[in-house]
Copies of this chain bind each other. A is one copy, B any other.
């Protein structure tokens, strides 16, 4: 199975390492022999039809800030050039999310699908802006489209709702889908000011380069779009979400909540309307998790409410979700 990997940041590197360390086991247990034939980043590409060397890739990236000197000479082939010329079965899109035009990820995904490649995206941008049409494009081109890592990182939230609850009808859900804002709100509940809590989160490396993605609820909203489409069968995109971030949550509000044995959390909810907004949650509600944890409660017709809690992000967790998608693609594509 030949793979083109778009982006070689924390997630891309973790995934390459994971593939290497699990290679024997993957072949033994799933008959899966993946090899990364191309990696590219903003500045250029690294190619090898027989499979790239992970350690060398990581060394080159560290030394030069790009994979483009992998074979010695500069290789400044662009992502789209690679996608449109190379032979591969799977494209993994792991460039940065943005919610303006979702580029370059959007073009990578569209081009790959048109060329008949299965696509795994951990980039939320294209899904947030165009989930319904990307799904259609995948169907039309008879390729599989997977994105487990976009919601919950290593915690298989999408799979749980879609598969483990089969035979059930999920009627609504509420989630804490952004670990950074949860960390800030948890610290504020412990007495910190918003500014101090934000600074602390920045120091720990929890905040996106564009802090608006966290603070204004864009990241949570993107995940809500994905959940609403995938689990509830809605056909919605970013503009369908009513969104309020945490910038206006003040210490008084948090104090009042604490007095009532509640906590203010940034909740993404799907219950007739799609809303991301700060909300008071009872402290003994399983949904009410602290720190950088993510949590989501699904309410279904027969089985009541079920909550799943886990770490939201992190390179290795997201890498493990890509691997799960890859195994899924391997199983699904050999079926037909």
Contacts and interface: CB of A to CB of B under 8 A. Distances in A.
A156 interface: yes
Nearest to A314: B304
Interface of A: 18, 30, 153-156, 159-160, 163-168, 284, 286, 289-290, 293, 295, 300, 302-311, 314, 316-317, 319-321, 323-324, 326-328
B304 A307 contact: no
Contacts of A167: 30, 320, 323-324, 326-327
Given A167-B327, A286-B289, 17 more contacts: A154-B303, A155-B303, A155-B306, A156-B165, A156-B303, A160-B164, A160-B308, A164-B164, A167-B323, A167-B326, A168-B320, A286-B309, A303-B310, A304-B310, A304-B311, A306-B309, A309-B309
Nearest to A32: B167
Contact of A293 (B164, B286, B328): B286
B168 A163 contact: no
A148 to B, nearest CB: 9
8 contacts: A30-B167, A164-B164, A167-B320, A167-B323, A302-B316, A304-B310, A304-B317, A307-B310
A316 B304 CA distance: 9
A35 B319 CA distance: 45
A228 B229 CA distance: 35
**Which of A30, A309, A314 has the most chain B CB atoms closer than 10 A to its own CB?**
A309
A166 B160 CA distance: 12
A165 B18 CA distance: 16
A277 to B, nearest CB: 23
Contacts of A321: 303
Given A156-B165, A167-B323, A293-B286, A308 B311 contact: no
Given A167-B323, A327-B166, A307 B306 contact: no
A16 to B, nearest CB: 14
Contacts of A320: 167-168, 300, 302-303
Contacts of A18: 302
Task: List the 8 closest pairs (A to B, CB-CB), nearest first.
Answer: A154-B303, A302-B320, A156-B164, A306-B310, A307-B309, A286-B309, A159-B164, A167-B324
Nearest to A155: B306
Nearest to A295: B286
A309 to B, nearest CB: 4
A101 to B, nearest CB: 31
Contact of A286 (B163, B286, B305): B286
Contact of A308 (B30, B306, B327): B306
A1 to B, nearest CB: 14
| Max count, chain B CB within 10 A of own CB: residue among A164, A167, A284, A314 | A167
Nearest to A152: B306
A153 B308 CA distance: 16
A305 B291 CA distance: 14
Contacts of A302: 18, 154, 316-317, 319-320
A160 B295 CA distance: 15
